[in-house]
Structure 1
């Protein structure tokens, strides 16, 4: 199945709706003397809501990710679940014999987790190996399509990662979980 270049492009309507929802937030009273054993501190929650409502420049970071990361999508056929459109970053090293590496994000998480170490992984260096990095957005996370049937589990996530690496021409590869 074909690979397609991908650019993050969240619709303006989605960002506007998010701002509207944040503006309508009603905060509860805080339990006197409560610490983090009782959940998120009210001041922390208010700070986060304010940041997302008025202080986060979505378009700036969207453009930055699009400029820095070679992103793609492709359909992956998953046994019993049909095709899923999967998003991934694919950054090849300039080193010819670099090791293919499948980077799988944690939970909760996204492909963004690879951004800080990606330059180090693909760099040519006599001190450490160089990698061709594929950072997968797991199905249902980031920009990857979610399964539409129950029962999608570890076996299917592994199938998606393996089929993606094979489709990219990597018959042997390492992984980071």
Structure 2
């Protein structure tokens, strides 16, 4: 099983930093993009502290490979080479719609764009995207490093191969994927 070689995370708060940490430990190169230099520095410190804690727990032999594969930025254009970009901005529909449109305008047509939303409809967010088949919800739980469950939220137009890839990525992160349909409170599809 594998994870994407390059992953982008938009938003380096607690959730975004945790998501970055999980993909770094699994071997991806990760870039976290924040709105300004101060926020990017804070995100960098969150991720590096989380990696250091993983080394102390024995989850990672040393932090050298993870820190080399990690970058922060204030430029969304740095997502251009990513195979997967996860939006992890605050739970505001308009903010997320704008963020997702900016991500989609930068990444390749075959890249997967995901949201970490816990309360906004995937289908509602997908209406503003030109490639809704490449869009999926990846709902990580807090704290990401120790939480084992990840909901894969499937919209009406999400491609089956995107769901299969998301399931593989989550499993590679040593977490349990649960596929759910997009609905209030989400409805379980399967856990396999």
Instruction: Mark yes or no: TM-score above 0.5.
Output: no
Which range, TM-score by smaller chain? under 0.3
TM-score normalised by the chain length of structure 2: 0.26
Larger relative helix fraction: 2
TM-score normalised by the chain length of structure 1: 0.28
